[in-house]
Each structure stands twice: as structure tokens, then as C-alpha cells.
Structure 1
Amino acid sequence: MRKVREVLRLKHECGRSEREIALAVAVGRSTVGEYLARAKACGLTWEIAKELDDAEVEARLFRHVGRSEPAARAPVDFAWVYLELRRPGVTRQLLWTEYAEHAAAGGSGCRPYQYSQFCDLYEAYRSKLQPSMRQVHRAGEKAFIDFSGKKPSIVDAVTGEATEVELFVMVLGASNYTYAEATRTQSLVDFVGATVRGLDYFGAVPEILTPDQLRSAVSTPHRVDPDINATYAEMAQHYGTAVVPARPRKPKDKAKVEGGVLIAQRWILACLRNRRFFSPEELNAALWELLEKLNTRSFQKLEGCRRSAFEKLDRPAMKPLPPRRYEIGAWKLGVGVNIDYHFEYDHRLYSVPSELLGAKVDVRATATVVEVWLRGARVTSHERSYGPKGMAVTKSEHRPRAHREWGSWPPERLVGWAAQTGLSSITARRRKMTSSSDHLRSRRVMTRWMAASGMAIRTRRRMRRRAGGIAQRACFDVPGADELGTASTQRRSARRRVVVSVRGHGSARVKRRPGCPSAGAGRRSGAAAAPGRRAAGSCRPR
């Protein structure tokens, strides 16, 4: 219609001849004559035509159906076709058959579209249902993350078996600056590590990370409010960025990285198709060489390249990297604190403040550090132990005061404390500090002497009660005590001396004089010993 309008303007407004109009509009002279004849027949002038749109001009000039006009076709309800195709087992061929049968039985006289034209018209209808919104990416705002569907492979040098590995791709929104590397899996450790190395490659941090909703990034997928993985969220918090995943099955939400994956497949993987690699490190070394070429290759329709656009747009708007690189850690939630204010992680024990006895804490462990968290606050941390299983790592400030003081008193303080209870206690304390093995040996000898002397069990208990409880020190000066074997041998011993030092009750000395009867009279009560029993009252303490 543009040329028809121009023919009418040149004829009625400029007064040009048909030959001049044909040369100006680049159409045949006969065509110009036909247009003018049709306009004259319907009374259409330039003053009227310039107020009408193209459809109205066409309707006035070509209102009569000519021999080249196609015949009318039966209309197609494409909304019905769209809904029916969503039902299982329904195909376009089936719907076209039903449409043709309905058109033939309708009695309208209109012929149905053939199958190819039916499909073309439906595609044109469907393309208008879901228009794509053009996204405007601000500098330094987003980095899009995805894994490639086409995977490189590494070869086992021993068996020759080829194993597929993952291709991680990260693209900045404004400059299309790309990072790629090969990882063994899409697991949490590999995914977080690849993201950290991608940020190191950029040398800066964007405001938002937009990954897919894979399990390593999102623990609970959701269209609106997904639950971000705790470790990945901790990594984002360390770098001061946010994680906003794309919606499930919505690749247009991260169209930048979808295009970046396609470019990486064509310009990186395709270039490595004839090479064999035996480790991920070797594969990444070759991959990063091609990545540098990709980022420095000139744009086809824009000025510069990806790197120059990154230096101009993204880098000035991005945040700097933190001083310390993020170190991935494993979380163990709800770990109980034992009665010894220690908890177990990886078969080793670590201490917490004694006030947290019986509490449930969260443990985060890296390769070097074990951290303890309670209600979102870090309580303490330890250097991770790789010693024998069951080894305990304890901080002295975590112990209660009584536990800290136990075993830390110097000998002078112990002697001073014992002086408050008696001189014999000082002697006993000094002997105890001198040799603990002598103490144990003396207790064994004292017990054997009591049994050998025939002392009644009741009398032994009474002696311990008088002495103040548990015997702390027993020292025997008995000739041949090591050779004491039987009760008869012990009865024939000529001289025995027993010194029992008891904490808090001074010293009780029990001495058996030569000729002291071992049985019979001598009890403090004055009663005679029962037949067959030996009296022990004659050897009582003084």
C-alpha cells in the first residue's frame, strides 16, 4: 500500500505523468495506470486516501474478488487446538482430521486447510501466546550460573575408560564476561568450589547470583520461595551477595547463561573434541586457554570484546572480594553436649563452655577449623584434630573453676593447706607427693596385715571410722613384709608397726609390742573373745 499511496500523491498533488511516476516508484507504467484507473472508478483521491489507513485503501481499490483471489477456507478454532494438544495422546494429525471432517459436514461450502497449512497457521498462533520480555541487565547486578548438558570427558590412564565430567559456566549479565571450568560432579562441594573460583576469576562480586534450582543450590525447590542450601547461603553471606534462583523449568529467567553455555559448547568443547585428557586439572588447563580466547574475541555487532566490556561496565559497579577466601564447611545440626562439656564430631571430642552442658549446638567443620554455633551465634572454635579417634581437644577456659584448679596446685600450696589439719597430715602429703606407688603398696600391705593378724571385720571398720573415713596413707615398717604369704607366717612375726595417716584427723599410730597377745582378752568392752575368734582389742590405737 505504500507504493499505491505514493502513486496517488504524485498524480493528484504533484501532477506528474504516468511515466515519471513509474520511474519514481520503481513499478511498471501499466501498473501505475491500473492503480489510477481503480482509484478513479471508486472515486478515491489523494485528499481522501491520506486520511485512511492501508486496510481501508485496499478495501476500496480491490473490493472485487479477482481471478487470483484465493477461495474462502473453513476457519480453525486455534484456541481449541491449543487446549486439545495438552491432553495425553492427542496429536496435530488427529485434530486436523477432525477439523476437515467437521468442515465437510458443515454445509458452508468452504474448503478446509490442508495439513501443512493447518500446522503453519497454528504455529503462528502459538508464537503470539507467550511473548518474551526483553531483560535489561544493569552493570554489576547479576551473574548467571548453569551446567552444560553436553559434557567433556576424562580418560583413565590405566584402564582407558572414559568418564564424563560436568562443565560449569558463569556469565555476567551486562558484559557477557564468561567463566567456565570442568568439575567431577554437580555435588555441593564441587558447585560451591566452582562458584568461588568463578568470583576469583572475575576479581569482584556481583549483587546477585542466579543459579538453576539444582539440589546443590536449593534444598527445597519452589516457584516463588525456594529454600536455599545452608552451605551455599553461607558462601553468599561471606561474599556479601544474594542468591535468587531461576524458576523451575523457566530457562528464560537465565537466558544469558543459556547462551553462554551454547557458546562454550561451540568454542571450547568443540575445539577439544580430538584431544584426550587424563585428569580434571589437565582438562581445565586446556579449557582456560580457550576461555581467554573467547573473552578476547571481538563482538560481531558491538564494539570491543567481552573483556573490554567487563572492564568498562561490570568491574566498576561490582563489590571487591573479601580479604579471606571462603572455605567450604560441612554442617552437623543438633549435636548434643555430653556431661563432660564435650561434643563428638568425626570421632573426636571438642570442648564447649561448661554452661552449655546438655545443650544442642550446631557444628560447622572445615578442613582446618571446627566451629560451634548456638542460635545463630558462634560460641567457640577449635583447630580441627586429625589425631587418633577418641582424642579430646579441650580449652582450659571451658572448664568450671573447680576443674581448672584440680591438679594445678603447686606442692607448696598443698603443704600449706595440709598444715591447717595437723603435722601428721603434712608428712602424709609429702609422702604422697613423693611417691604414689608407695602409697598403693602400703595400702595393700596394711590390708594383708589386718587379715593376717586376725582382726575382726567389725574392728577394722571401727578403726577406719575413728580415723575419719578412707585411709589416705599406710606405711608399714615390717621386717620381711614382702615375704608375707600365709596367716601362720604373719602370726609368727615378732615386730610390727603400722602408721595410718588420715586426711583431716591427724595420725593414728598402732603399735604391737613384743609379747602382745593376739587373741583372748583385751577388748575395750572387757568381754572375752568368742571361741575360735582372735581378739583385736589389744592392738588398738592410742
Structure 2
Amino acid sequence: MRKIKEVLRLKWEVGLSARQIARSLSVSHSTVLDLLRRFERSEITWPLPEIDDSALEAALYPGNPETRVERPLPDMAYIHRELARKGVTLQLLWWEYKQNQPDGLQYSQFCQRYREWREKLDVVLRQQHRAGEQMQVDFVGGSLPIHDRETGEVLQAQIFVAVLPASNYTFAKVCPSQSLRSWIAAHCDALEFFGGAPEVIVPDNPKAGVTRACRYEPDLNPTYADMASHYGAAVIPARPRKPKDKAKVENAVLVVERWILAALRNRTFFSLREADLAVREAVEKLNNRPFQKLEGTRRSLYETLDKPALKPLPPKRYEYAEWRKAKVNMDYHVEVDRNYYSVPYQLVGETLDIRFTDGLIEALLRGKLVACHPRATGRGRYVTQIQHMPAAHRRHREWTPSRLVGWAESVGPQTVKLVTTILEQKPHPEQGYRSCLGIMQLGKKYGLERLEAASARAVISGAYSYSSMKSILASNLDQAPLPAPPDEQATPVHQNLRGPEYYAQGGQ
């Protein structure tokens, strides 16, 4: 339009010829002549009256009204929604459009009209997301204060947000912290809320989920990777300092901050459950709120797009598990939280991956399960499976307190008293097994008769140990007369001892 007005100005004000005007404006001579003829045929005069550019263009280039055909336009909102479905293309949608409208737009105009319509949407909505492909997650920057009625302390609770990008269907949950346990529990709740699992989970790079952030090969927390594997999803963290990689959840975080946290700013919460219910109610309203530039709501789009495309959830919810590495000790046990669990003795010296839940301990070697135990409570407990022990240790394990006492009864009453006392003095009977087995070997070496005599001397002396028995037998003390018990020994006669008569007379 600017050149049309300039042509008219140079002709009627400056008085240039058509060729001069063409050279001045870098257009063809025929174009200038055609424009001047159209102007002369029109009812417009120079100088130009009050007329806008579109009216001037319509007056000079009216086209051919008799041949102009108004073609039916497609439903652009429907096309935009259908493109979010997996495998749907513009060419397929154009073919379906032409089946219903044979006189409709051709493919190039169809695509051009859709692109022009899409440019009018928000920048975020222009992104193409496949239904059921992603779940983007993040924590809200702000916190929600939770007041303790008894102590008055204030807990700054965190808000976890998850969104399905194709429909913008949003989930939010109040968490006590941004710890790994809260992070995993929030993911499980989100997947159950959505009723299915996506192909990809896109988080930021929080310490709970990513142990080492990297643009190309980030290291995931093993628990996070284990949780994703349980639901058949892959975790692809956003690149550091690239929020557009998860633009949908970034927008959802802003919505939660402005429409939920801000709306709840004047309420006082006294429990996490109370705050979580308030947030869930607000999110429900958000998901049912109509779009401003599209038809429908987040919920309606979710039910038509994302819900059918999500993978079904496994029958059992993911059980929170932590991972660590542990080296197998010489006693073929690994240590987890000050308790000890057996593994096959052939793995002594190996470093294993330990996966432990609230009730189970699993040991894996290069991804293969090698041992599984119920988790022990307390500290210093040993959990041992017999099949993990070498043959010699299994034979030792077969001995029990009752069996050892039964053997002692076959020797004699003094040996029974010795063995019973050794087992009772130890914090755990198994700790006395080795001493008792050593005493049995002494019986094989010196004979059961001498062993019984040595046991009698040890009992009188209070020497309840294998080393004392060995010393007695090696020194032949078992063949010497036994000393009198301490309470039966006579008081020695000495001139300095006053005797009971002295004290009976009051010390006279």
C-alpha cells in the first residue's frame, strides 16, 4: 500500500512519467501503467479523500466477484487438538476435511490457514505435545506455612506440581519437604491422579532426583530411576538453565503460585492434610475452568487426549526403596544401618548394590539378585541364611543350646553345669557355641572321665571358659584333689586372729 500511494503522489503531485516513477520505485513500467489506469477507472480523485488502506486496495483491485468462491474453512481448534494425538498429521486431517468438504481448501492453503491461526495463540500453547508422551514435574518456588498447635513451630511445606503438556491437566500436592522420600511419594500420587503412566518424566535437576546435573548425561538418583522403571517410564531431566525444556510445568507453577497459594495466603493451616485438601480443591477448580482461547477445559482435553494414551499403572504402587553400595565383609555379611545381612560366602570382598525398603533388604551383583532378607529392627542384629554359609560353618550352625547341654549330660553333672553357665553368661547363646565346641574337642583328646574331673575343678574355681579347661587338663590338675568350696574352707589358726569369743565378750 505504501508504494501505491507513492505512485499516485509522484504522478499527480510531482508530475513524473510512468517510466520515471518505475525507475524511482524499482518496479516495472507495466505495473505503474496498470495502477494508473485502475486509478483513472475508479471513482477516487486526487488528492486522496479520507480513505483507509484496505478500502483503497479494494477499490483499485476489486478482483472478479463473479468467479470468487467462498470455500468452507476447517475447525482450527479441532485440528489443534487432534494434532496432539499420537501419529496424527496435518496431511491426514486435510484428507478427512476434504472427504467432508470436497470444495474445501487445498492442502497448501489448509496448512497456511492453520499456521496463521496458531500464531494467534500464546507462545506456550504453540508447542506441539503428543498425548500421553510426557509428565513434567517441579516444585513451586514459594512455600505454605503449617502451624503446630502445641509447640507453635511453623513448617514451611513445599508444593509439588505435575502437568500433562498435551492437555495442561494439572496436579498439585503439599509435601513436608523436598526430600527424596517426598519427591518419590509425590510422583506416585501424581500418576495415580492421572490414572496412567506417561512415556517420559521431565523434571528439573533437584538434588532429590538428579545426583549430578549435566547437559548431556545427567546422573539420576537410583531410587528415582527405580521408581520410573516400576511405572515403565523414562526420566529425561531438563537441561540446566533451560526452563523451556519443561515450559508447561513452569507455566503451571506460576498458575499455582498466583491462583492457589495467593488465594490461600490468609488461611492458617495446622496440618499437612488440611493444607493438601485445600490445594486439591483449588486445583480441581483450575482443571474445570474454561480456556480463554480454546474450547473446553483442562479436564475435557485430558479425558479426550491424555487419558486414552497413558499406559496403565502396575497392579502395585511403587514401594519406596533406597540404594547404596556395600562391600562384603570377611564374615560374608554386609552392613546396612548398623545391622548385618548375609550373602553367599563366595562373594567375600565384592561390592554389591543394596536396595532396601521399610521391610526388605535386597543385595544385587551387577543387577542380579543374590540375597534377600526381611529388614531387622534395632542395631547390631545379624540376619543369616544357612545356604549362604560354607559347609564347615553350616555344621557349626547345626549345634543348638539344647544339643550342647544334651552332650554335656552324657559326660557328667559338672560338665552340664559348666556348659550351661558358659551359654548363660553370653549375651546371646550362639556366642558361647565356640567355647563349648572347644571343650568337646578336649573330651576327645583327654577322655570324658578326665573332662568331667576338669569341669568340677573349673566350676569350683569359677573358671567358665575353654582356655581354663585346656590349662587344667594340660597341667593334670584334674587328677589332683579338689580344693574345698570357698564357703566351706576352715579359717586358718594364727596368733593375731582373735576368734569369735573375743567379739562375743564385746572386744574384752
Quickly name the TM-score band, shorter chain normalised: 0.5 to 0.7
Give distance in 2, aligned partners of 1:320 and 1:146. 23
The DSSP-based 3-state class of the residue aligned with 1:273 is coil
Distance verdict in 2 for CA 1:180–1:469, change over 3 Å? same
Q: Which has the larger radius of gyration?
A: 1
Matched letter for residue 236 of structure 2:
V
The DSSP-based 3-state class of the residue aligned with 1:308 is helix
Tell me what 1:339 maps to. Answer: 330
The DSSP-based 3-state class of the residue aligned with 1:149 is strand
Matched letter for residue 382 of structure 2:
A
Give distance in 2, aligned partners of 1:162 and 1:467. 70
Q: Cα deviation per residue 1:497-523 (whole Å; 9 max; x = unaligned)?
A: xxxxx9xxxxxxx9xxxxxxxxxxxxx
Distance verdict in 2 for CA 1:279–1:476, change over 3 Å? closer
Give distance in 1, aligned partners of 2:247 and 2:339. 47
Give distance in 1, aligned partners of 2:235 and 2:3. 55
> Larger relative CO (CA 8 A, sep 6+): 1 or 2?
2
Distance verdict in 2 for CA 1:20–1:200, change over 3 Å? farther
**300, 315, 318: which one pairs with 2:292?**
300
**155, 160, 178: which one pairs with 2:152?**
160
Distance verdict in 2 for CA 1:404–1:3, change over 3 Å? same
Gaps of 5+ in 1: 37-44, 47-130, 415-428, 444-464, 487-501, 503-509, 511-542
Tell me what 2:216 maps to. Answer: 224
8 Å CA contact 1:442, 1:476 repeated in 2: no
Matched, 1:380 2:405: no
Tell me what 1:13 maps to. Answer: 38
Q: Cα deviation per residue 1:317-370 (whole Å; 9 max; x = unaligned)?
A: 11111122112222221x232333222222222121222233322222111111
Give distance in 2, aligned partners of 1:196 and 1:355. 38
Tell me what 2:385 maps to. Answer: 395
Matched letter for residue 415 of structure 2:
H
Distance verdict in 2 for CA 1:363–1:475, change over 3 Å? closer
8 Å CA contact 1:152, 1:167 repeated in 2: yes
Tell me what 1:136 maps to. Answer: 128
Same amino acid, percent of matched pairs: 42
Distance verdict in 2 for CA 1:289–1:227, change over 3 Å? same
8 Å CA contact 1:10, 1:21 repeated in 2: no
Give distance in 1, aligned partners of 2:51 and 2:452. 135
Matched, 1:469 2:432: no
Tell me what 2:207 maps to. Answer: 215
Gaps of 5+ in 2: 9-31, 62-122, 420-440, 462-472, 474-478, 480-508
- Deviation, 1:398, is 2.1
Matched, 1:147 2:139: yes
Matched, 1:365 2:356: yes
**345, 352, 363: which one pairs with 1:354?**
345
Q: Cα deviation per residue 1:288-339 (whole Å; 9 max; x = unaligned)?
A: 1111111122222222211121111112211111122112222221x23233
**179, 189, 195: which one pairs with 2:181?**
189
Give distance in 1, aligned partners of 2:207 and 2:442. 73
Tell me what 2:235 maps to. Answer: 243
Give distance in 2, aligned partners of 1:382 and 1:314. 40
Tell me what 1:516 maps to. Answer: none
- Deviation, 1:406, is 4.3
Tell me what 1:279 maps to. Answer: 271
Tell me what 1:452 maps to. Answer: none
Give distance in 2, aligned partners of 1:468 and 1:140. 76
Give distance in 2, aligned partners of 1:154 and 1:361. 41
The DSSP-based 3-state class of the residue aligned with 1:271 is coil
Tell me what 1:259 maps to. Answer: 251
Give distance in 2, aligned partners of 1:202 and 1:434. 71
Give distance in 1, aligned partners of 2:394 and 2:387. 8
- Deviation, 1:207, is 0.7
8 Å CA contact 2:203, 2:236 repeated in 1: yes
The DSSP-based 3-state class of the residue aligned with 1:145 is strand
Give distance in 2, aligned partners of 1:285 and 1:436. 73
- Deviation, 1:472, is 3.8
Distance verdict in 2 for CA 1:356–1:442, change over 3 Å? closer
Tell me what 1:126 maps to. Answer: none
- Deviation, 1:195, is 1.3
**166, 177, 195: which one pairs with 2:169?**
177
Distance verdict in 2 for CA 1:240–1:10, change over 3 Å? same
Distance verdict in 2 for CA 1:356–1:257, change over 3 Å? same
Distance verdict in 2 for CA 1:255–1:430, change over 3 Å? closer
Distance verdict in 2 for CA 1:26–1:476, change over 3 Å? closer
The DSSP-based 3-state class of the residue aligned with 1:150 is strand
Cα-Cα RMSD: 4.3
Alignment of 1:111-130 (within 5 A): none
The DSSP-based 3-state class of the residue aligned with 2:255 is helix
Distance verdict in 2 for CA 1:321–1:430, change over 3 Å? closer
Give distance in 1, aligned partners of 2:254 and 2:412. 78
Q: Cα deviation per residue 1:73-105 (whole Å; 9 max; x = unaligned)?
A: xxxxxxxxxxxxxxxxxxxxxxxxxxxxxxxxx
- Deviation, 1:212, is 0.6
8 Å CA contact 2:148, 2:270 repeated in 1: yes
* Aligned residue pair count: 350
8 Å CA contact 1:341, 1:354 repeated in 2: yes
- Deviation, 1:476, is 7.1
Distance verdict in 2 for CA 1:435–1:175, change over 3 Å? farther
Matched, 1:316 2:286: no
- Deviation, 1:259, is 0.8
Give distance in 2, aligned partners of 1:201 and 1:407. 51
Q: Answer 1 or 2: which has greater helix percent.
A: 2
Distance verdict in 2 for CA 1:307–1:12, change over 3 Å? same
Distance verdict in 2 for CA 1:198–1:431, change over 3 Å? closer
8 Å CA contact 2:408, 2:416 repeated in 1: no
The DSSP-based 3-state class of the residue aligned with 2:252 is helix
- Deviation, 1:185, is 1.9
- Deviation, 1:399, is 2.6
Tell me what 1:329 maps to. Answer: 321
Give distance in 1, aligned partners of 2:146 and 2:417. 69
The DSSP-based 3-state class of the residue aligned with 2:285 is helix
Matched letter for residue 397 of structure 1:
Q
- Deviation, 1:211, is 0.6
- Deviation, 1:395, is 1.9
Give distance in 2, aligned partners of 1:169 and 1:467. 73
The DSSP-based 3-state class of the residue aligned with 1:324 is coil
Matched letter for residue 241 of structure 1:
A
Give distance in 2, aligned partners of 1:209 and 1:261. 16
Matched letter for residue 445 of structure 2:
G
- TM-score calculated relative to the size of structure 2: 0.60
Q: Cα deviation per residue 1:49-90 (whole Å; 9 max; x = unaligned)?
A: xxxxxxxxxxxxxxxxxxxxxxxxxxxxxxxxxxxxxxxxxx
